[in-house]
Amino acid sequence: MSIEQISPAEALQRQRSGAVLVDVRDSHERVSGFATGALAIASSELVADPQTALPRIEAEVVLICERGGRSLKAAQALHAAGYRRLASVDGGTARWIAEGLPTSRPGGEVDLDFHERYSRHLRLPEVGEAGQRKLQAARVAMVGAGGLGSPAAYYLAAAGVGTLVLADDDVVDRSNLQRQILHTEARIGMPKVESARIALSALNPRVVVEAFGERISAANVERLIEGADVVVDGADNFPARYLLNDACVKLGKPLVYGAVHRFEGQVSVFDAGRRRGVAPCYRCLFPQPPPPEAAPNCAEAGVLGVLPGVIGLLQATEAIKLILGIGDPLAGRLLHFDALAMRFRETRLGADPDCALCTPLTPFPGYSDYAAFCAAR
């Protein structure tokens, strides 16, 4: 049997004649308005146990969703369960409202911006409203507002992370614009953190951006990352990476690492501060920094402009997973990306039992002279 599809006006007429009108959207979708008098029963609940929701199997039932697709599928499921007097509203609630038919809204104060802005997250069972509220309450500290920091910060702001702490002492240069998408031609010469604040606030005014035009050092690192749920490494030099790693181990913060070189990049999560002896830290991977000639920076060796975008987005993905507590983070795994071959490969990383920093019960040795440590190589 094909399900009858009717206009919103016809649905209203049938409702007034005694048909049961059922809105099968999820609760967060109804905040923007619903057909007056419609029963609110999410499609998943209705299909799972139709007789509890609609005990009169002989009743006429008209189903409505946002556009008409889900209500049609729900009607087909009800038909399979024995219901026969079924119809689906063509065009759904969107058409109902557009045609000016009687519409109601939930009582009390509703944050319409929240529900509209994050509607696609709210539809994911793994996120939902509870997860989105976690993101809203989260604080992410990011060192570097350049090639990696730009895409990572953009997508973390778009995702609704409540507070982004950005630290970078550099200013926008024209050579940055090939890959550092937070910045524009008009903001050349402006501090990068201020340029980033302008871009991120324009994208999502709900996000608080705390901008620090400072170079990270042993004197300020704990102040910058204190209170962060996740730390994102967008630095482009080894002294900053070792410093961030050491501070995150000391303070028990998960560190999302990323690095790029010419056409290749890598990403990992170092979570030794919270999982000593189980998850590795950056020093487990690199007990000693490579010699300068083996790891030139972007200014010296160049970098494909889109490469930091790929790696930065992966970093943002890992940060979101860590905040929500979902999926399998990259802790204990190093993900390599080769842009020319368009190939990913993975290397397993274990905690180094001889690591001078993160082995269990090892006292924090203190911050060292990281510039001298790296220069010695």
- In three-state secondary structure terms, 78 is helix
**CA distances (Å), 341 to each of 137, 244, 301, 346, in order?**
39, 31, 19, 15
pLDDT digits 0-9 by tens, 28-61 = 888 889 999 999 999 999 999 999 999 999 999 9
H helix count then E strand count, the chain: 16, 15
What's the pLDDT band for 297 if we cut at 50, 70, 90? low
Give dist(CA 64, CA 231) in Å, integer.
44
CATH code: domain 4-110 is 3.40.250.10
- CA-closest candidate to residue 283, choices 241, 233, 316, 325: 241
What's the pLDDT band for 295 if we cut at 50, 70, 90? low
pLDDT the model gives residue 1: 66
pLDDT the model gives residue 373: 80
Mean pLDDT, the chain, whole residue set: 94
Domain 121-375 maps to which CATH number in 2.40.128.720, 3.10.20.600, 3.40.50.620, 3.40.50.720? 3.40.50.720
Give dist(CA 110, CA 131) in Å, integer.
18
Same topology between domain 4-110 and domain 121-375: no
> Which amino acid type is present at position 24?
V
pLDDT digits 0-9 by tens, 230-261 = 999 999 899 999 999 999 999 999 999 999 99
Residue 293 has pLDDT above 80, yes or no: no
Give residues with Cβ within 8 angstroms of 282, minimum separation 6.
241, 242, 244, 245, 255, 257, 270
Q: Where are the domains of the chain?
A: 4-110, 121-375
Alpha helices in 161-306 (DSSP H): 192-203, 221-225, 238-251, 282-285, 298-301
Share of the chain above pLDDT 70, in %: 96
pLDDT digits 0-9 by tens, 151-192 = 999 999 999 999 999 999 999 999 999 999 999 999 999 999
Q: Does the predicted TM-score (pTM) go above 0.95?
A: no
Residue 118 has pLDDT above 70, yes or no: yes
pLDDT the model gives residue 102: 95
